[in-house]
Amino acid sequence: MYQINRIIIKILLIITVNCVYVYAGNKNEISIGIGVGNGIMENVKGMHTPVTNNLGTNVKGLVLDDNSLNTMYSLSIDYNRYLNDNLYLNSGIAFNRHYTVDTNITFDGGYNSEFPDIHFRGLALELGPNYRFNKISKFTPYIGLNASTFLGFQSDTNYGANRSGFYGVGGAETFVKCFGMTPNLGFFISSGFLKGYGFSIENLILECDNEHNRSMTEGYEADFNIVQYKIDYRITF
């Protein structure tokens, strides 16, 4: 999956380089949006000390009994550059806050333990093509596919070993680094009183390589898959 994502990102960047110099007069856009979302965190694995039925210090996989990973909010600004015909180039940046819920985790081998919530915060960077369909009444629908990255921090990393606080409560924030892609679709209103307002759905599909968190003291890998729903407003210039 990681290799497939890398190939898709390279293709998107090639399209960008080949098209970025096209002139556009009064067809470029700036949009500002706000959104929420819900999804899952899965395929979690990292170096871990021995647990019941899985002895040894080795790479262990685990499953969250409730693997929900939700977007508390996403604040975004995007630049859409006209390329030709119905094709645009989208580049965007967003500040996102995601969180898991209080749940339990089950390790390979069946050992189950508590798992307090984690909060993630950081910047999401997007770049990719966007295709506009012909206007339907006052609405202009579109689809897009972006190469994506999320760079930020995770909270509540405390291991609680040696009586140093409590497991999963407080602790130093550690770095989160994710790469992937974000297919999206939506529409905006192109005329009338509500001109410029729009709605979109996007699917963040990210492979993450994160620094230490709790008993995974050497870091861990995880996949984020989040569907976000956004309202935005765009200005043409």
**What residue numbers bound the domain in which 134 lies?**
2-236
Please state the rounded mean pLDDT for residues 26-45.
96
User: What are 46-56's pLDDT values in tens digits?
Assistant: 999 999 999 99
**Local confidence band at 113 (pLDDT 50, 70, 90 cut-offs):** very high
Per-position DSSP letters for the chain, written without gaps between them: -HHHHHHHHHHHHHHHHHHTT---SS--EEEEEEEEEEEEEEEEEEEE--BTTB-SSEEEEEEESS-EEEEEEEEEEEEEEEEETTEEEEEEEEEEEEE--SEEEEETTS-EEEE---EEEEEEEEEEEEEEPPPBTTEEEEEEEEEEEEEEEE------GGG-S-TTSS---EEEEEEEEEEEEEEEE-SSTTTTEEEEEEEEEEEEEE--BTTBTT-EEEEEEEEEEEEEEEEE-
Number of domains making up the chain: 1
Q: What is the CATH number of the domain that holds 54?
A: 2.40.160.20
- Assess whether pLDDT exceeds 70 at residue 5: no
